[in-house]
Amino acid sequence: MHVCGSHEWTITHFGIRTLLPLNVEVRAGPGCPVCVTPAADIDSVTRLSLQGKTILTYGDMSRAKGSDMSLFEAKAAGGEVQVVYSVHDAVQIAESNPQREFVFFAVGFETTAPPTAYEIIKGPPRNLTFLVSYRYVPPAVGVVASSPELAVDGFINAGHAATITGMKAYQPYFEKTPKPMAFAGFEPIDILISVTMLLKQIVDNEPKMENEYTRAVTWEGNVRAQETMDKVFERVDGYWRGVATIPESGFRIREEFVDSDARVRYGLKETPGAEQFVPEARCGEVILGKIDPPECPLYMKACTPASPKGPTMVSAEGTCKIWAEHKVLAAMRCRT
Amino acid sequence: MCLAYPGKVIAIEGDFARVDFGEGTIRDGVNVSLVAAQIGNYVLVHAGYAIQLVNQAEALKTLKYWREILESLPGDRASYEREVRGGLT
């Protein structure tokens, strides 16, 4: 199993599943940040936008529905929403519009969290706060690894998230449930090499933490980025939409930077745990890698990239969207 | 979300760098404060911020594996090479 939407894109785009022997299967796990962002958080930002705050966020995030609507739908209903490329853009927009209130909807994994931490330390303008919904990948890999139902034999770990944390962040989870791991880059060759690494570990019955993406991933990771991130955020329980609440996988702004916390400034209540996919949609099982997209009754029927019903069909990193864009219409598993 | 592209740092001013992503794409204002980048280094850039230095020696090693695989394939090698023009990202 891999846990990164960009890996899914490479695997599907280059037809890697069709190159592998029939008894080798690569499944997509929970690697799409937009897909796992809790509906409750999307509800909070859509409400804020309808109350006149301008929500700044990444393009994909604005199309994912909460329990009721997406940010774009809130915009159509009169809310304020603006798409940005980076958190730095958000700071600049807020600085040049001091009369308006802005909320940066901070979603993503540990790859995206350090730049936001950097801007919060630097001191963003008063009219900009952050609704932080970041998720930390290593504990999620731990949860998936220990699931008897998923029965994953090995992990292609997310290369860019690991450039920040280093391989060491995965060690506690590996020690608890030793399953083969390969930290992989994003070229087709990287995937093939990492699959080979995993197969060798499985055949030799020697699970280890192996590094394929040696040009970017190290054992220690980017220490400066880790320190920046840890200075601003503390690790808390995090709910992954469709998956579970995973200990130590969420981020909360520390007391010292509370002025930048949208949850505090606007008194937002946390309501985790609510499951809000549309009826019959099997997004949660797709996110976990329990099923392939074509096994969902809505896939390419009621739910298409032009008219997505669930987050996995919205995001460029969602398995359904990637499969749909590559016209994959049948499940690709070799065992059930 | 975790997309990142490698590019070469060609100038630095304070926290910001000018980065050459190859094939004519040069971007100003890449924030390099999270890495110890110097001019000439390759960095991985994610949403406007460099998140890691690229280890060139290791990148070349992976390219070498790629070439070995190409050499073991039948047919027109030049067409495979065209496919991977631009090299590894």
| Residue A215 near chain B (CB below 8 Å) | yes
Integer angstrom CA distances of residue A245 from A143, A236, B82: 10, 10, 46
Please name the residue of chain A whose CA is at the shortest distance from the CA of residue B16.
Answer: A88
Mean pLDDT along residues B70-82: 65
Residue B30 C-alpha, separation from nearest chain A C-alpha, in angstroms: 10
Measured between alpha carbons, how far is A196 from A210 in angstroms, rounded to an integer? 11
pLDDT reported for residue A227:
98
pLDDT tens digits in sequence order for chain A, 336 residues long: 999 999 999 999 999 999 999 899 999 999 999 999 999 999 999 999 999 999 999 988 999 999 889 999 999 999 999 999 999 999 999 999 999 999 999 999 999 999 999 999 999 999 999 999 999 999 999 999 999 999 999 999 999 999 999 999 999 999 999 999 999 999 999 999 999 999 999 999 999 999 999 999 999 999 999 999 999 999 999 999 988 899 999 999 999 999 999 999 999 986 655 657 888 999 999 999 999 999 999 999 999 999 999 999 999 999 999 999 999 999 988 765
Say yes or no for a CB contact (<8 Å) between B49 and A118: yes
| B85 or A70: which leads in pLDDT | A70
- HSE-CB of A145 using CA atoms within 13 angstroms: 23
- For residue A115, list chain B residues with Cβ-Cβ distance below 8 A: 31, 34, 46-49
- For residue A161, list chain B residues with Cβ-Cβ distance below 8 A: 2
pLDDT band for B78, please (50, 70, 90 cuts): low
Measured between alpha carbons, how far is B1 from A158 in angstroms, rounded to an integer? 12
A80-83: strand order across its sheet? A80-83, A54-57, A102-108, A128-134
Residue A52 C-alpha, separation from nearest chain B C-alpha, in angstroms: 27
Burial of B57 per CB tally in 10 Å (0-12, 13-18, 19+): exposed
Closest CA to A217 of A180, A172, A185: A185
Say yes or no for a CB contact (<8 Å) between B51 and A222: yes
* Amino acid of residue A335: R
Which residue intervals of B1-89 are DSSP H helices? 56-72, 77-83
The DSSP result for A190-236, as a single string, is HHHHHHHHHHHHHHHT---EEES-TTT--SS--HHHHHHHHHHEEEE
pLDDT reported for residue B79:
60
Tokens representing residue A244 in the block: 């579970």
Mean pLDDT along residues B80-86: 54
ipTM: 0.87
Q: Name which of B33, B52, B59 is nearest A163 (Cβ-Cβ).
A: B52
Say yes or no for a CB contact (<8 Å) between B46 and A112: yes
User: Hey, of A60, A186, A215, which one would you mutate to test binding to chain B, going by the most B CBs within 10 A of its CB?
Assistant: A215
Say yes or no for a CB contact (<8 Å) between B2 and A111: yes
Please name the residue of chain B whose CA is at the shortest distance from the CA of residue A186.
Answer: B89
Q: Name which of B1, B54, B69 is nearest A112 (Cβ-Cβ).
A: B1
pLDDT reported for residue B89:
47
Q: Name which of A32, A107, A189 is nearest B62 (Cβ-Cβ).
A: A189
Predicted confidence (pLDDT) per residue in B12-59, tens digit: 999 999 999 888 899 999 999 999 999 999 999 999 999 999 998 888
pLDDT reported for residue A192:
93
| B69 or A263: which leads in pLDDT | A263
Q: Name which of A5, A114, A215 is nearest B59 (Cβ-Cβ).
A: A215
The DSSP result for A153-173, as a single string, is --EEEEHHHHHHH-GGGGHHH
| Residue A216 near chain B (CB below 8 Å) | yes
